[in-house]
Amino acid sequence: MQKSDRQLGMNRDITRRDFIHDLSLTSLGLTLPAGVLAEAFTGNPESAGTYYPPTRTGMRGSHPGAFEVAHALAREGKKFLDPADLDEEYDLVVVGGGISGLAVAYYYRKQFGADSRILILENHDDFGGHAKRNEFHQGGKMRLSWGGTMNLEYPLFSDTANALLGELGVDIDELLQGYDFEYGSGPKGSPSIFFDAETYGRDELIHGFSFRAGNSDNLEAIFDRFPISEESRESLKKFYARRENVFKGKSEAEVGKILSGISYTGFLKKYGGLSDEAANLFIKTTHGYWGVGADSLSAAECIGASLPIMHLLGHPELSGSGDDNAGGDVAMFPDGNASIARLLVHALIPAVAPGSDATNIAMARFDYSRLDEATSPVRLRLESTVVNVTNRSGGTSVSYVNRGRVLRVNSRHAVLACYHSIIPYLCPDMPQEQKEAQKYQVKRPLILTNVLLRDSTAFDKLDISGAYCPGRLHGAVWQVKGVNTAGYRHDWEDSGPVPIMFWGSVAPPDASVPVQEQHRASRALLLAMTFEHFEREVRTVLDGMLGSAGFDVQNDILAITVNRWPHGYSYSYLDLWDPEWPEGQAPHEVARRPFGNIAIANADAGASALTNVAIDEAWRAVRELNS
């Protein structure tokens, strides 16, 4: 029997709800006096007079106040006329304060001089973009988690990205020495799967099994516990037991064409013998990793995601890596790539955190009052949504909305380090071909919900560090421990307060439509969800998963931070949905062309969501600016 909201603890005052979520654009700021919004958007009480967004809970990521102006511009065609001209002149205005935008400012100073006057405009109430820091103090000692981009895929880094990290003092070898985290598969506890009662009829936590890695011991007994039909259980048993080459006699080119032309779930059914019900269990395995379900990814792409397929291609192992860690080798900071953003801000504006460096950046408390000082050559202005960027004689003009006021500044150069699909509305005079290319790149929605628990006792009793949840909103949940770098430490043996991350995306209502339409539909669903939707979801999952081990759903949850990213992962090209373009004519290549005194950066410009790509594109954009 499903528990009521009161039984789940929904009445507990753990955080302020997103009470302004559904207010109109006008009430959100276009007519409010300056200063009102800063108070209205405070999600978690901060000490008097202190502005410190990393500690805010409730609805974060694309939070209330961050997107309404852009939606009015792009969706409603609103005109932001008669901007007030500020008495501020800059060499460079950067649109977007994510890692790419911050790297643009860093590279600009190297190319044009350290005395260059730079203004960075960011629509959120914090810098970093998707590199979001979630900082908890409710349990006493500070606990960190990541609210967006988390990994440094260092084997893929270019010389440009490696050089920047080196200049920031980041040592990958040192990060790896303090890295002991395995995405819910360990190192403490076995990989697990949680079947929930609402979807499957009963709560069932299966220990010692991962869809990726499989299990050679007691495999049949494990599948017998799956709350699915007998036919589906039998198909899974046969699938994992098989070792053969289903394409024997075909050439490598023929096999490659087949694998890139069929969805992973289609492969499981056609060649793996799985029932529809069994194959659908795999869909959310790629939700957090790709932002796309395994039913919209090709079988070839899912080899790279370490999903089981190799054992049907003539190899003894189930997956390409032979383990449960999708994504290959990575390094990590305890707040994810927020530490990279913080190091960049510190390099640009040292006064925000004197004495900070890569060895202690995770423990630094930034002084946000120093971000936008008139005496600093680099200024970072938060809660400022750009609405127009125009070339003018000898430079650019940039209009933006800040706390209800439409303002304008002039600059020698501008770099758009924002996502591509908003650029046609910011720069309506761009060539139509370029604007169409920008609209093609529809970002993939992403959700990272962090929940601070009173302790990890229930996880420890169950001997798990996390679980895959095929029937729930978030496809995966895990404890965040074991990233002991940059001055921070949270060991697996520590049974005290612990962040639990829920990771995934929103499944589209129809996975048969073009993938861009899938993303738009998922985005609409995500934006329609209130904080209560997410709170109810995490309470339901934690109660069902941990209740048997003594977890008290009403009292053991200390805080919830929902990092909602309707425009999440950058659009990368997929086998099933995108054609091959001639060299130089792919949408991201057309979209990023310089336009007068305006250049374009961000990960979209590289058609990849990786942090190193955002850095590479920043370097390219600055080099395209005329001296």
**Separation between Cα atoms, residue 448 and residue 438, nearest integer Å:** 26
Please write the tens of the pLDDT for every residue from 545-575.
999 999 999 999 999 999 999 999 999 999 9
CA distances from 64 to 43, 410, 548 (A): 10, 28, 37
Report yes or no: 213 and 326 within 8 Å, Cβ to Cβ.
no
pLDDT tens-digit series, residues 18-63: 333 333 333 334 432 232 233 333 333 344 458 999 999 999 999 9
Instruction: Give the C-alpha separation, 485 to 317, whole Å.
Output: 33
**What residues contact residue 363 under an 8 Å CB cut-off, 6+ apart?**
142, 486, 487, 488
464 beta partners: 190
Give this prediction's pTM: 0.94
d(CA 454, CA 494): 12
pLDDT, tens digit, for every residue of 417-458? 999 999 999 999 999 999 999 999 999 999 999 999 999 999
| Cβ proximity of 83 and 408 under 8 Å | yes
CA–CA gap between residue 272 and residue 239 (Å, rounded): 6
How far is 97 from 104, CA to CA, in rounded Å? 10
Identify residue 192 by its one-letter amino acid code. S
3-state helix, strand, coil in the chain (%, to 5): 35, 20, 45
Q: Say what the pLDDT of residue 139 is.
A: 87
Residue 178 CA to residue 210 CA, distance in Å, equals 25
Mean pLDDT over all residues of the chain? 92
Q: How many CB atoms lie within 10 A of CB 368?
A: 19
CB 476 within 8 A of CB 502: yes
Q: Over pLDDT 90: what percentage of the chain?
A: 85
CB contact at 8 A, 518 and 511? yes
Distance CA 53, CA 39 (A): 12
Residue holding tokens 């003018």? 392
Phi-psi group of 288: left, alpha or beta (phi > 0 → left; psi -120 to 50 → alpha; rest → beta): alpha
Strand ranges for 365-491 from DSSP E = 378-381, 384-392, 395-402, 405-416, 444-453, 466-468, 476-479
Distance CA 220, CA 528 (A): 41
The domains of the chain, with CATH numbers, are 5-61+131-185+442-569 (no CATH), 70-127+371-441+574-623 (3.50.50.60), 211-312 (no CATH)
pLDDT in the model for residue 573 = 98
